[in-house]
């Protein structure tokens, strides 16, 4: 229908979060994935293709959602995609262990009248938990093929594709059957549908869907309908439903869907036995315990960072040695002319820097993140931190991007996606950029930790934490919109699948490289070029009112702050070069070192972070955050310098 190419079949994967949808996607598409954003949205769009039994299949992985309302961008993106781009078939992936809630989503897909196939995923888990599902009955009740699958073990995927192809290629009756609700709701849907069918033409959404959504008071659909008579009729029918039940019409309709889902699931499943799950129950209660939960969380996060740093250091050392072997060879080839220097020290060093950072630190970071996520532990962290995060207006899930920020700001910004609304994503990402990443930690430790004392270094972290909470709160107060709070599924603990974890890590890493490398290398070339033509000294002079006047630092620091945009840890290396010594305490006063570290900690997310921000939220918001942080860091830095002098620091 929608595809121009005769042999190409477009298959969309839809379903709740944590049902193994991405696992199916990864298994099917392998390395052919293209990951980007939905136009104008901060929602990831993953596409891939495969060749299966003589056909080219294009697969689109829709975001994991629980409903097709307008609660989150993901929900809007998903239903727009299904209605407007009309994939040939939609595979609805279900978690067999939670049939009822998953069927609630299936019922909504049926309202959208998409050609459907159901994948009963985690079929083995259901069996293990003593749940027997009558597939034939389910298939009959829903009027669509139902295929049991175990995505992580690649079980049932071939059958799933064959069913999808036969539904996608069927010429007739591609519409799934219409499920009827209770008479009160159904009669009103039909009334509104018949009014709509006379007046509504050329609308991407099916008429019945529009009628239901109008009754549910769906903002998005209300906006699309301009016919006042229809709107009046809808609002009258809606208030009738509301007066019967004393609940909003959307609640009434949701209850109807759930009672259908409940009826179907109880018709089709039997609980044979309740096996004891002592281990996982014990794990669940100890990891969310009001004392031990936090102790375990602390140990795990410390362990994670320790692993990343040791592994990263070791790995980056090896890479550095390898690259040292290549450097002289390149020098011979490129010569020492201005262009040679720019290429070599800008382009190639930028590339090397990316490799020695991205690979050694980001790789283990992503790997561990995938394991934590896949096992279900991240949800427990959100649970434990919800109360604390509420103090800055965000809910528990926001702790995860902030935690990631201590590793690297780029994944932290990308990780803000776990929040539901754009507003909450923006606040979480903003807060995460203020957290000292590994590179900033190097500066703090090498300067303050070494020459003033570890406690002073710690004090910077404490100050930072206060700033993160304070500014997060300010952003929460000033940005328009309202926060909803935490409503999150708590997945049962499960053993992460190595296959899935590795693939996930690979995709995350490659998307990081694609995004960050061009920016790092480009900025590196630019700064080197400025140095070669002698522009950098000017910058120091231009910036000296700020660096010397306001912050009380030596004027050479101006260059460092510019270079620091590229990579924050470069500031410390260059500081040594420019001052001609690594004995920083000989040339800088403690106050200067403290202020310098403070400013570096806050003044700007590095260029790769700005790129990540701009990809997620658009260049405007990225610019606002950047400018704000520069101003904030320099102004409070100046204040800090004066306070320190007042306190008797010299």
Partner 1 sequence: MNEGPEEYLEALYKLTREGKPVRTSQLANFLGVSPASATQMLQKLAERGCVEYIPYHGSTLTENGEAKGAKMTRKHRLLETFLVSLLNVRKDKAHEEACELEHHLSDEAEEALCRILKHPEYCADDNMPIPPCDSPYSSCAECMEAAEFSPQRRSKPIRPLTSLEKGESAKIAFVRAGRGALRRLCDMGLTPGSVVTMVRSAPLRGPVEVEIRGSRLAIGWGIASKVFVEAVDGG
Applying CB under 8 A, the residues found at the interface with partner 1 are 66-67, 69, 71, 97-101, 104, 183-184, 187, 240, 243-248, 250-251, 254-255, 258, 262, 285, 288, 290, 379, 382-384, 386-387, 390, 395-396, 482, 484-492
Helix crossing, 498-532 with 535-544: angle to 10°?
90
Distance CA 66, CA 258 (A): 12
Q: Residue 126 or residue 437: which is nearer to partner 1 going by CB?
A: 126
CB of 400 to partner 1, least distance (A): 14
Q: Give me the DSSP letters along 316-353.
A: HHHHHHHHHHHHHHHHHHH-SSHHHHIIIIIIIHHHHH
Distance CA 451, CA 446 (A): 8
CB of 380 to partner 1, least distance (A): 9
Element (H, E) at 92: strand 89-95
Q: Residue 107 or residue 403: which is nearer to partner 1 going by CB?
A: 107
CB of 278 to partner 1, least distance (A): 16
Q: Residue 25 or residue 104: which is nearer to partner 1 going by CB?
A: 104
Q: Residue 66 or residue 598: which is nearer to partner 1 going by CB?
A: 66
CB of 252 to partner 1, least distance (A): 9
CB of 289 to partner 1, least distance (A): 9
Token duo for residue 125: 């888990």
Q: Residue 382 or residue 610: which is nearer to partner 1 going by CB?
A: 382
CB of 244 to partner 1, least distance (A): 4
* Strand-strand pairing, 89-95 and 34-37: unpaired
Please write down the HEC assignment for all residues of 554-606.
Answer: CCCHHHHHHHCCCCCCHHHHHHHHHHCCCCHHHHCCHHHHHHHHHHHHHCCCC
Q: Residue 312 or residue 396: which is nearer to partner 1 going by CB?
A: 396
CB of 583 to partner 1, least distance (A): 47
b/e 334-347 (16+ beta carbons within 10 angstroms → b): beeeeeebbbbbbb
Instruction: Give the SS3 label for residue 201.
Output: coil
Distance CA 68, CA 173 (A): 23
Q: Work out the widest C-alpha separation in the chain, in whole angstroms.
A: 85
Q: Residue 217 or residue 585: which is nearer to partner 1 going by CB?
A: 217
Q: Residue 325 or residue 487: which is nearer to partner 1 going by CB?
A: 487
Q: Residue 49 or residue 108: which is nearer to partner 1 going by CB?
A: 108
Residue 91 · residue 13 · CB < 8 Å: yes
Token duo for residue 200: 């509504």
Q: Residue 395 or residue 568: which is nearer to partner 1 going by CB?
A: 395
Distance CA 471, CA 276 (A): 47
Element (H, E) at 93: strand 89-95
CB of 290 to partner 1, least distance (A): 4
CB of 97 to partner 1, least distance (A): 8
CB of 295 to partner 1, least distance (A): 13
From start to end of 128-275, where are the E strands?
A: 131-133, 146-148, 269-271
Distance CA 614, CA 622 (A): 5
């Amino acid at each position: 229908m929608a595809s121009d190419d005769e042999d190409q079949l477009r298959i969309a994967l839809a379903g709740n979060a944590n049902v193994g949808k991405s696992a199916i996607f990864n298994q099917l598409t392998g390395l052919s994935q293209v990951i980007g954003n939905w136009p104008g949205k901060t929602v990831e769009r993953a596409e891939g293709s495969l060749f299966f039994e003589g056909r080219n299949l294009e697969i689109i992985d829709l975001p994991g959602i629980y409903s097709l309302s307008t609660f989150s961008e993901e929900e809007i993106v998903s239903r727009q995609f299904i209605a407007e781009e009309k994939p040939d078939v939609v595979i609805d992936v279900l978690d067999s262990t939670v049939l009822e809630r998953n069927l609630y989503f299936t019922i909504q897909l049926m309202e959208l009248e998409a050609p459907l196939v159901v994948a009963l995923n985690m079929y083995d888990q259901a069996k293990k938990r003593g749940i027997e599902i009558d597939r034939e009955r389910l298939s009959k009740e829903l009027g669509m093929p139902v295929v049991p699958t175990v995505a992580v073990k690649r079980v049932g995927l071939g059958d799933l594709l064959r069913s999808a192809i036969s539904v996608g290629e069927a010429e007739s009756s591609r519409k799934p059957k219409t499920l009827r609700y209770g008479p009160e709701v159904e009669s009103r849907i039909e009334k509104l549908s018949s009014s709509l069918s006379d007046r509504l033409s050329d609308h991407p959404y099916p008429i019945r869907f529009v009628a239901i959504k109008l009754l549910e008071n769906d903002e998005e659909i209300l906006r699309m309908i301009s016919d006042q008579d229809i709107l009046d009729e809808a609002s009258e029918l809606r208030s009738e439903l509301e007066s019967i039940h004393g609940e909003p019409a959307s609640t009434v309709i949701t209850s109807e869907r759930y009672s259908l889902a409940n009826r179907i699931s109880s018709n089709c499943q039997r609980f044979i036995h309740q096996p004891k799950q002592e281990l996982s129950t014990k794990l669940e209660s100890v990891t969310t315990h009001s004392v031990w939960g936090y102790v375990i969380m602390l140990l795990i996060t410390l362990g994670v960072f320790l692993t990343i740093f040791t592994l990263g250091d070791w790995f980056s050392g090896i890479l550095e040695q390898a690259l040292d072997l290549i450097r002289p060879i390149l020098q011979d080839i490129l010569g020492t002319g201005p262009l040679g220097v720019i290429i070599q020290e800008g382009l190639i060093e930028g590339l090397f820097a990316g490799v020695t950072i991205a690979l050694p630190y980001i790789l283990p970071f992503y790997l561990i993140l995938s394991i934590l996520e896949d096992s279900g532990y991240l949800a427990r962290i959100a649970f434990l931190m919800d109360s604390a995060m509420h103090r800055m207006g965000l809910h528990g899930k926001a702790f995860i991007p902030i935690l990631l920020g201590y590793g690297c700001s780029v994944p932290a910004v990308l990780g803000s996606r776990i929040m539901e609304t754009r507003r909450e994503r923006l606040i979480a990402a903003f807060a995460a950029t203020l957290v000292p990443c590994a590179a900033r930690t190097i500066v703090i430790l090498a300067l303050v930790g070494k020459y003033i004392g570890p406690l002073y270094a710690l004090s910077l972290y404490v100050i930072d934490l206060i700033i993160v909470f304070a500014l997060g709160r300010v952003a929460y107060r000033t940005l328009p919109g309202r926060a909803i709070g935490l409503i999150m599924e708590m997945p049962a603990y499960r053993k992460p699948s190595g296959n899935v974890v590795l693939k996930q890590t690979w995709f995350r890493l490659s998307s990081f490289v694609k995004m960050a490398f061009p920016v790092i290398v480009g900025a590196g070339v630019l700064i080197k070029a400025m140095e070669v033509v002698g522009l950098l000294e000017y910058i120091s002079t231009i910036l000296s009112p700020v660096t010397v006047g306001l912050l009380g630092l030596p004027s050479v620091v101006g260059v460092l702050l510019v270079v620091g945009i590229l990579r924050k840890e470069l500031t410390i290396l260059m500081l040594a070069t420019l001052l001609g010594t690594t004995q920083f305490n000989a040339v800088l006063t403690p106050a200067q070192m403290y202020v310098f570290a403070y400013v570096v900690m806050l003044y700007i997310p590095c260029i790769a972070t700005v790129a990540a921000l701009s990809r997620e939220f658009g260049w405007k918001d990225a610019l606002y955050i950047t400018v704000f942080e520069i101003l904030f860091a320099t102004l409070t830095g100046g204040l800090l310098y004066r306070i320190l002098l007042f306190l008797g620091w010299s």
